[in-house]
Amino acid sequence: MAASTPDDEHPHTRDADLSPEQIAAEVRGTLAVLYRRIRQTKRIGDLTLPESSALSRLQHSGPMTAATLAKLEQISPQSIGVTVAALQAKALIQRSADPADGRRVILSLTSAGDATVQARRAARDQQFTRALSVLSAEERAQLLQVMPVLERLADEL
């Protein structure tokens, strides 16, 4: 059996002349696996993916209308209505009249909703910390170096 080389362990580093299509397939495949693993983090609060995403959005962006939330989450108003109803039934969000326009309803997190988002984030952070602890210091440094590129790629999508 032939000795393995670093290129055998990381086949994507073998050919710097890959086409954009090949690179896209490699990156998408790896990120898809990473995304699935993140989403498999122990569930806290039995939330669906749309519920979890809406809670995170409200925590990050602050109170907003259901229409704004639907637009930011890129889902239909009907779908956000179902999500909002479920979150309100779980006492994770509240509705209140818009002080500037009493006809509009503003959605915001309750303290339980905020605590749920924080607990879920902490569980994901712990999962990442455990995963990063098996990487060498050099691999962790490489990961940090590629972050600006990934952020720029995310902005382009």
Tokens of 45: 């609060």
Let me know if residue 29 belongs to a domain: no
- Please write the tens of the pLDDT for every residue from 68-114: 999 999 999 999 999 999 999 999 999 999 888 888 999 999 999 99
In a domain, 30, yes or no: no
Q: What is the pLDDT of residues 22-60, one digit of tens each?
A: 988 999 999 889 888 877 765 656 788 899 899 999 999
**Domains in the chain, number:** 1
On whether residue 3 sits in a domain, the answer given is: no
32 is a domain residue: no
Given a cut of 80, whether residue 142 has pLDDT beyond it is yes
- Rg (the chain; Cα; Å): 21
| Helix H or strand E encompassing 134 | none
Residue 16 counted as domain residue: no
Q: What is the DSSP string of 23-44?
A: HHHHHHHHHHHHHHHHHTS--S
Assigned token pair, 147: 């972050």
Specify the CATH number for the domain of residue 140: 1.10.10.10
CB-based contact 87:48 (threshold 8 Å): no
Six token digits for residue 84: 């909002």
Contacts of 141 (CB under 8 A, 6+ apart): none
How big is the chain, counted in residues?
157
The answer to whether residue 6 sits within a structural domain is no
Residue 13: per-residue pLDDT: 53
| Domain around 146 | 45-157
Within-domain flag for 17:
no
Three-state secondary-structure class, residue 54: helix
More reliable by pLDDT, 111 or 9: 111
Position 36 in a domain: no
Contacts 24+ apart (CB under 8 A), 24-32: 27/153
